[in-house]
C-alpha cells in the first residue's frame, strides 16, 4: 500500500475521532469540562488572515497525528485477538502446512511451539480457583508471560509467511491480500477509536447528574458497541489469515508438485518433527 494511502487513512480516522469528541462536547455541553472546552474554542472566532491559515495547518497536523496514534493504539488493544485468529487458522491448516514448517524449522520452531498449543480451559480454571494463594498467583503470572510470548510468536510467524508469499509469488501478485490487510488495519483503527470514545462516554456519564437509568443504559450501550467493534475486528483478521494461508498453500503446492490433496496426512501434535516436545 502506498504511503499516501496510509496518510489518507490517518486523516479519515483522526477526523472520525475528533467528530466523536465533538459529540461528547455536544452531549455534555453543560458540564464544567465541556464549558472549559467551549471557552477555549471561542477564541477561534478572533483568528483571521495568516493566523487562520496557520491554525488550519496545525489542525490538519493534529488530525493526522491523532489518526496515527489511534492506528498504533489499535495494534496494542487488539493484538491479543489477532493472535487468536491467527492461531485458529494455523491449527486448521496444520495438516498440510507441517512439511513447509519442518523445512523452515530453524526460524519457526520455537514460535510455533508457543502459539500452537494454548493453555486449556481446565488449566486456566484450576488457576483461577487458587488465585488467592501464592502458588496460584505465580501460575497466573505464568499465563500472562505465556500470552505475551504467544503474541510475539504471532508477529514473527505472520511476518515469515508474508515474506514467503511476497518473494515466492511476487509482490505484484498479492494485491487481494494487501487490500484485505489495509481494510483490516482501517477496521482495527476505527474500532480502537470507538472503544476509546466509549470509555470517555462512560467516564462522563458516571460523573454527570443524570439518573441511574440513563447512566446504566449508556454504559450498556457503550459496552455493546465495544463488543461489536471487537467482533468486526476479529472477522476482518479472520479474512486476512484465510487469504494468507490460501496463498501459502497455492505457492507451496506449485513449487512442490508432490503435495496433492490425497497425499497429506493429519498431524497429531505434538508427536514428531517440529512439534515434538524438547
Answer whether residue 64 is part of any domain.
Answer: no
CA 30, distance to chain mean position in Å, is 36
Which pLDDT value is given to residue 139?
A: 45
Cα 11 from Cα 65, distance rounded (Å) = 8
Answer whether residue 205 is part of any domain.
Answer: yes
pLDDT over threshold 70, residue 262: no
Which pLDDT value is given to residue 45?
A: 58
Q: Is the distance from CB of 264 to CB of 258 less than 8 angstroms? A: no
Nine-digit cell string for 147: 500470552
**Banded model confidence at residue 122, pLDDT cuts 50, 70, 90:** very low
Query: 82-117, pLDDT tens digit by residue?
Result: 998 998 899 899 888 888 888 888 888 888 888 875
Query: 19-39, pLDDT tens digit by residue?
Result: 988 888 777 665 555 555 555
Q: Per mean pLDDT, which of 122-136, 154-168, 204-218 is the most reliable?
A: 154-168
Q: Does residue 123 or residue 56 have the better pLDDT?
A: 56
Q: Per mean pLDDT, which of 55-69, 108-122, 182-196, 247-261 is the most reliable?
A: 182-196
Query: 133-160, pLDDT tens digit by residue?
Result: 444 444 444 444 457 788 888 999 999 9
Name the average pLDDT for the chain: 76
- Check the CA dihedral 9-11-17-22 and report its sign: negative
Q: Is the distance from CB of 179 to CB of 262 less than 8 angstroms? A: no
Answer whether residue 201 is part of any domain.
Answer: yes
Cα 241 from Cα 35, distance rounded (Å) = 47
Q: Give the list of residues 6+ apart from residue 14 with CB closer than 8 angstroms, or none.
A: 62, 63, 64, 65, 66, 67, 68, 70
Average pLDDT over residues 53-77: 87
Alpha-carbon distance values, 52 to 48, 55, 63, 275 (Å): 5, 5, 16, 63
The range of the structural domain enclosing residue 195 comes to 79-275
Answer whether residue 138 is part of any domain.
Answer: yes
Number of domains forming the structure of the chain: 1
Answer whether residue 19 is part of any domain.
Answer: no
pLDDT over threshold 60, residue 51: yes
Answer whether residue 52 is part of any domain.
Answer: no
217: nearest Cα among 194, 197, 196, 201: 201
**Banded model confidence at residue 214, pLDDT cuts 50, 70, 90:** confident
pLDDT over threshold 90, residue 213: no
Which pLDDT value is given to residue 42?
A: 56
Answer whether residue 232 is part of any domain.
Answer: yes
Answer whether residue 96 is part of any domain.
Answer: yes
**Banded model confidence at residue 40, pLDDT cuts 50, 70, 90:** low
Q: Is the distance from CB of 188 to CB of 74 less than 8 angstroms? A: yes
Q: Per mean pLDDT, which of 46-50, 130-134, 150-154, 185-189 is the most reliable?
A: 185-189
Which pLDDT value is given to residue 46?
A: 61
Q: Is the distance from CB of 264 to CB of 93 less than 8 angstroms? A: no
Query: Could you check whether the bond before residue 270 is cis, i.e. omega within 30 degrees of 0?
Result: yes
**Banded model confidence at residue 205, pLDDT cuts 50, 70, 90:** confident
**Banded model confidence at residue 128, pLDDT cuts 50, 70, 90:** very low
Amino acid at each position: 500500500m502506498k504511503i499516501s494511502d496510509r496518510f489518507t487513512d490517518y486523516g479519515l480516522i483522526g477526523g472520525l475521532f475528533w467528530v466523536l469528541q465533538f459529540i461528547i462536547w455536544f452531549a455534555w455541553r453543560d458540564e464544567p469540562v465541556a464549558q472549559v472546552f467551549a471557552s477555549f474554542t471561542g477564541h477561534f472566532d478572533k483568528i483571521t488572515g495568516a493566523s487562520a491559515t496557520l491554525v488550519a495547518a496545525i489542525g490538519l497536523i493534529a488530525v493526522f497525528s491523532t489518526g496515527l496514534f489511534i492506528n498504533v493504539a489499535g495494534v496494542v488493544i487488539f493484538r491479543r485477538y489477532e493472535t487468536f485468529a491467527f492461531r485458529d487458522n494455523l491449527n486448521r491448516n496444520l495438516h498440510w502446512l507441517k512439511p513447509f514448517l519442518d523445512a523452515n524449522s530453524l526460524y519457526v520452531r520455537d514460535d510455533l511451539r508457543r502459539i500452537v498449543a494454548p493453555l486449556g480451559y481446565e488449566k486456566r480454571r484450576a488457576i483461577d480457583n487458587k488465585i488467592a494463594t501464592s502458588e496460584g498467583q505465580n501460575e497466573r503470572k505464568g499465563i500472562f508471560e505465556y500470552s505475551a510470548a504467544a503474541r510475539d510468536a504471532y508477529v514473527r510467524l505472520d511476518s515469515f509467511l508474508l515474506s514467503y508469499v511476497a518473494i515466492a509469488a511476487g509482490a505484484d501478485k498479492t494485491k487481494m491480500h494487501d487490500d484485505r490487510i489495509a481494510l483490516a488495519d482501517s477496521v482495527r483503527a476505527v474500532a480502537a477509536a470507538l472503544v476509546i470514545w466509549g470509555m470517555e462516554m462512560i467516564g462522563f456519564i458516571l460523573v454527570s447528574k443524570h439518573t441511574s437509568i440513563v447512566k446504566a443504559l449508556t454504559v450498556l450501550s457503550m459496552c455493546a458497541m465495544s463488543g461489536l467493534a471487537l467482533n468486526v475486528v476479529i472477522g476482518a483478521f479472520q479474512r486476512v489469515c484465510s487469504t494468507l494461508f490460501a496463498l501459502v498453500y497455492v505457492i507451496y503446492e506449485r513449487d512442490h508438485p508432490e503435495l496433492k490433496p490425497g497425499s497429506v496426512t493429519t498431524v497429531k501434535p505434538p508427536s514428531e518433527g517440529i512439534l515434538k516436545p524438547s
